[in-house]
Structure 1
């Protein structure tokens, strides 16, 4: 039995190493090379290490577009995650604590939102009608709409593990419904809240397709779209492209490394009772 577990663990580690670690090493090595060396796309170490030069060129490219992209991506991520935590927790609390036909309909609507793919063109029409197309505010609302279903599911499952006696005790003491939620329930949601913040932050910060569709314009560029700076039909600066990939990848990677235990804890807390 122990031998079987050891073999399964070794195979899992080897697969994870090949899928995640080797590509990251490839990016790091080629980000240190010159343009001619990186064009070979191999694992050979650079003859001359150009980390600082490549880093400077990437940051200064197109009038410091990367810095603007970091600012835009940070604004979108912080705004969307804040709204997701507030509305996801509120909706999850109502769905779990007040079962009814209407709440069942809303829950089915949430599940439908997870299964049906987004319609790009109608969404663009709606954003144009309400004057939110090509704006950071519109992009924040798009991210909230796409991430709310998953967030509600997590909160609803976690709230199911919190005894109803706490709600009833707070009501007996004179607390109103919103006071019960914000003063009693919300502080207990810290594990799943951390999970939502980390998972959604990484997903939104790394999002490529939605800003490409709904947020055109140089002033609205996000970090993933800066990868176009070093690729064109005729010329590709692979060393700067890999350096850009490295700069975009490092922040979410650091967040995931430090909060991976909280992610697992938050996702499994409501797995037994829900």
Structure 2
């Protein structure tokens, strides 16, 4: 078969020669390491990372998550191995990179650009480094004691990031939970931009530790909801931590899914510590019926009022 292919190719080349027509030069491969920095869609995002060698992220098991230096500051790198990844995966990586780069807000993790690392074998998206990890890590860190002022400020950070998505970017988050909110060294909360653009997780696969944060209507299929419905689902990001603590993640997910039908897991009672002027709005955020939930604009106003009391 190879010999046949070669003979056909040679015949075609001879025909071109007979008519004095030169064969068109082959198109450059868009993911060639010499081509990537010059691509029209990437050239303005290309970064002068300070080191060719990078350090794996200390926490987690993702080998494609690394850190590096940019202008003296640490940046987080989300990478893809150009030597082993398919063209389809490389194309998807760049598409997601550009989608993330377009989301610009003080409470969304910023994508600063793109570059090659590890001896030009790895393409990476460079993002601002969030030193304290997820807000879940901060909450459960026994060495960290948050004041009421800090907690309300963190709530406002999250609410304003979500407001940007809903009002300016005209999109929904889709998987807002404590794992997808990151905290920088100064204590500012920012929505993890990677979680915003990722494909929705399958709600048929239990044990993913995200179901507790989903509005009940999303359990019937997130893809079927329109934008307004998905934004309403963002408002009701309610954890059932006590269910997971008692039953574990897999059975906890099953119980929460069953509650969609049976109503067995009602929202918890309003804690006495909730401010009276905010309790009603917070309770509405947890409503099973989407139409009862407040808009993100109303939520931001309520949280802003609480933060203002500490000024």
Query: TM > 0.5 between the two?
Result: no
Larger CA Rg, structure 1 vs 2? 2
Q: Which has the higher helix share?
A: 1
Range into which the TM-score falls when normalised by the shorter chain? under 0.3
More relative contact order, 1 or 2 (CA 8 Å, 6+ apart): 1
